[in-house]
Amino acid sequence: MKLILIILNSLLITLTMYAQDYYYSDNRKTYITKSDNWIVVQIREQDRPGFSQVIAQTSTARIKQHLKPERGIYWLEIPRGSILQSSLNEIRQRANILRTIPAYFVSDGNGDTARFIMSDEFHAKFNPQVTRTEVEMINAQYGVEILNSNKYNEYLLRATEQASFNTLELANLYYESDLTIWSLPNFLADIRLEQIDDPLFPNQWHLRNTGQGDGVSGVDINAVPAWDITTGSNSIIVAVLDDGVEDHEDFYSGQLVPGYTASGGDGSPDPYSEHGQAVAGIIAANHNNIGVRGVSPNVKIMSIKIFDDGALFEDAEIAAAIDTA
């Protein structure tokens, strides 16, 4: 009896482990969460010409993007609070849905969300010894066709109407077949162009160098694409060891935490101190349509004042200031 319970528990653990969807990256499973308000649908050929009008007539869905309109593949968005299946049922009353393809996301602790949207395509790089004939054999088994390939034995593949598995499942099956080096869906690139309205941003060549001031275009820290990934976390405090930092309209409320002055004080600058304030702005000025932009606007700033024009601080005092940070 104990053996049976152990087996059942092991099976339950295994099923739980595999309940969450994943794809393979760097020889490891990367787990992703299925969205309840995004879905990709493929519409049968006869219903494709009027599908935009069909969606316009539904109350709970909109076309977020035409992924492969020539193959009737659309990314749909369902409003929060609506039931995904109910929206699909409403669409099915007006159009014939050939297949649905789940959409996924991953969110970090900062609220940044990476989207994993796919159509009916996936990439696979086969082992060098695998021939095209062998590729076509596994394709026939799973209802897959070749869209193109290159000299590196990399293939762009498509799930046909005969495929019994969705794109993510097929990519994983190919990877697990031991015929491939890697295999993953042809994900829609999650790249978003951010509207930047901070008035002094065009002067910040270190963030995005367009050649302003006779500089060399492209010589910068690539901050703009990095912001598509993260803008920092308010759980991080950056200590600015300088001549002091004070609150400013380009900081959010509470962004400046209590500081420390090596000779005694709270890190506030003197009237003529400017350098520490500029450094803090480079680090963390908000993206708020005011002034400049900081590299990581969500972090908090601690002013650690270790020098002052005309004043001398002892090494022990500076050490204590660093210890405070």
Is 78 domain-assigned?
yes
Tokens of 67: 């992924």
Is 210 domain-assigned?
no
Q: What is the pLDDT of residue 189?
A: 65
133 and 79 housed in the same domain? no
Give the domain-ending residue among 91, 116, 141: 116
Distance CA 202, CA 35 (A): 37
Q: Which residue has the higher pLDDT, 302 or 13?
A: 302
Task: Over range 120-132, report the average pLDDT.
Answer: 96
52 and 139 housed in the same domain? no
316 and 235 housed in the same domain? yes
Question: Residue 144: pLDDT band by 50, 70, 90 thresholds?
Answer: very high
Q: Which residue has the higher pLDDT, 1 or 183?
A: 183
Question: Residue 73: pLDDT band by 50, 70, 90 thresholds?
Answer: very high
Tokens of 140: 């026939």
Residue in 297, 298, 112, 295 with CA at minimum distance from that of residue 208? 295
263 and 317 housed in the same domain? yes
**Does residue 262 contact residue 317 with C-beta atoms inside 8 Å?**
yes
Is 11 domain-assigned?
no
Q: Which of 111-115, 148-152, 280-284 is predicted with the least confidence, judged by mean pLDDT?
A: 111-115
Distance CA 124, CA 129 (A): 14
Percent with pLDDT over 70 in the chain? 89
Query: How many independent structural domains does the chain possess?
Result: 3
CA distances from residue 85 to 25, 39, 64, 136 in whole angstroms, order as listed: 30, 10, 17, 35
CA distances from residue 295 to 208, 220, 253, 261, 299 in whole angstroms, order as listed: 11, 12, 18, 25, 10
Return the SS3 of 12: helix
Phi/psi at 24 (5° precision) = -95, 130
Domain that holds residue 159: 121-185
Q: What is the pLDDT of residue 159?
A: 95
Is 212 domain-assigned?
no
Question: Residue 3: pLDDT band by 50, 70, 90 thresholds?
Answer: very low
Return the SS3 of 126: strand
Label residue 144 exposed, middle or buried (CB < 10 Å: 0-12, 13-18, 19+).
buried
Is 15 domain-assigned?
no
Q: What is the pLDDT of residue 310?
A: 64
Q: Which amino acid is at 58?
A: T
Is 142 domain-assigned?
yes
Q: Could you tell me the sign of the dihedral formed by the alpha carbons of 146, 148, 153, 159, in that order?
A: negative
75 and 153 housed in the same domain? no
Is 197 domain-assigned?
no
**Does residue 319 contact residue 308 with C-beta atoms inside 8 Å?**
no
100 and 37 housed in the same domain? yes
Distance CA 201, CA 222 (A): 14
Q: Give residue-wise pLDDT tens across range 175-194.
A: 999 899 999 999 886 655 55
Q: Which of 19-28, 37-46, 108-117 is predicted with the least confidence, judged by mean pLDDT?
A: 108-117
77 and 134 housed in the same domain? no
Strand arrangement of the beta sheet that strand 300-305 belongs to: 237-242, 300-305, 256-261
Domain CATH code at residue 145: 3.30.70
Distance CA 297, CA 303 (A): 16
Is pLDDT of 9 > 70? no
230 and 148 housed in the same domain? no
Q: What is the pLDDT of residue 196?
A: 79
Q: Give residue-wise pLDDT tens across range 249-273.
A: 999 999 999 999 988 889 999 888 8
Domain CATH code at residue 60: 3.30.70.920
Q: What is the pLDDT of residue 10?
A: 43
157 and 178 housed in the same domain? yes
Residue in 151, 190, 158 with CA at minimum distance from that of residue 174? 158
**Does residue 240 contact residue 302 with C-beta atoms inside 8 Å?**
yes
Return the SS3 of 148: strand
Is 291 domain-assigned?
yes
| Strand intervals (E) in 249-299 | 256-261
pTM of the complete model = 0.55
Tokens of 8: 């059942």
